[in-house]
């Protein structure tokens, strides 16, 4: 974690969207694997915040998540399963969500 005025979280060399830092209230950011970070975000983040997670980060780590083991609603678990189905043939969040919805 770097501190320069405000606390900034860095993911793959790029700053994480400020709205996502609040999901690491217990300072687990530095001591955690990428899989843990993604799991934490999918368990606690609101839907608008979920799509602020960098797409490349989700794409490279989503296959490590076991949706049934998430502390989340059935709807959220289903969303993770759907993302897992379509993310590898997508290049953006929009494309993934459209495929889940059957639009593309």
> What are the pLDDT digits (tens) for 35-47?
999 999 999 999 9
Report the C-alpha gap between 63 and 44 in whole angstroms.
19
Region 4-26: mean pLDDT is 75
Contact 29, 9 (CB under 8 A): yes
Domain of 11? Answer: 2-101
Q: Decide if pLDDT at 6 tops 60.
A: no
Give the model's confidence band at 52: pLDDT under 50 very low, under 70 low, under 90 confident, else very high.
very high
Buried residues in 21-48 as b, exposed as e (16+ CB within 10 A) = bebbeeeebeeeeeeebbbbbbebbeee
Report the C-alpha gap between 88 and 28 in whole angstroms.
28
Nearest partner of 97 among 24, 48, 63, judged by Cα: 48
Model confidence, pTM: 0.82
Q: How far is CA 44 from CA 51, 88, 91, in A?
A: 13, 24, 24
Report the C-alpha gap between 19 and 24 in whole angstroms.
11
Nearest partner of 79 among 59, 50, 55, 57, judged by Cα: 50
């Amino acid at each position: 974690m770097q501190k320069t005025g405000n606390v900034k979280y860095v993911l793959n060399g790029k700053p994480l969207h400020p709205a996502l830092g609040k999901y690491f209230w217990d300072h687990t950011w530095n001591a955690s694997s990428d899989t843990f970070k993604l799991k934490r975000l999918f368990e606690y983040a609101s839907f608008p915040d979920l799509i602020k997670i960098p797409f490349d980060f989700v794409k490279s780590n989503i296959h490590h998540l076991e949706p049934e083991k998430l502390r989340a609603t059935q709807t959220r678990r289903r969303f993770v399963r759907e993302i897992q189905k379509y993310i590898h043939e997508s290049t953006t969040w929009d494309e993934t969500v459209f495929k889940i919805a059957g639009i593309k």
